[in-house]
Amino acid sequence: MGARIGVTFHPPYTTLAHVDRGRTIAGFVFNVWTGHDVEISLAADRLSLTLLRAVFDYVTRQLGCRRATCRTRADNSNAQTLLARLGAQPEGRQRGYFGDCDGLLYGIIKEDFPYGLHAKAPEGA
């Protein structure tokens, strides 16, 4: 997954993926865990509500975090739209983070995550 998004991950980290017929549809890497925050990296062709709930469950229940930090390329408008839909708020810009492109930082806290464990699913989800 690191090669797909152009970064190298160094242990310790954990992963969660949606695999369909041997092909990874979506993959998450969780690293830089501080006890109250964890960085999430994502590469995906498509995402399901079930997978997003599993990610949130992992961050809050298993890791015990209150927030997650996400980083995306400044030229990746699809990722920025997805992060906004998930309730993430823009928190900063890292100039030249990806070498050829700035990185944008987003944060999401437990209370702002719309697909939380007790949130009502939208119609048809």
Q: pTM, whole model, 2 decimals? A: 0.78
Phi, psi (deg, nearest 5) at residue 94: -115, 105
Per-10-residue mean pLDDT, the chain, length 125: 78 88 89 93 79 83 91 88 85 93 92 65 47
Q: Could you tell me if 24 and 81 are in contact, meaning their C-beta atoms sit under 8 angstroms apart?
A: no
Per-residue pLDDT at 111: 84
Sorted by where each begins, the domain ranges of the chain are 2-109
**CATH code of the domain made up of 2-109:** 3.40.630.30
Per-residue pLDDT at 92: 97
How far apart are alpha carbons 56 and 63 in whole angstroms? Answer: 10
Q: How many CB atoms lie within 10 A of CB 83?
A: 22
How far apart are alpha carbons 93 and 103 in whole angstroms? Answer: 6
Per-residue pLDDT at 102: 94
Which amino acid type is present at position 120?
K
Per-residue pLDDT at 125: 44
Q: Which among 16, 54, 18, 12 has a CA at the least distance from the CA of 34?
A: 12
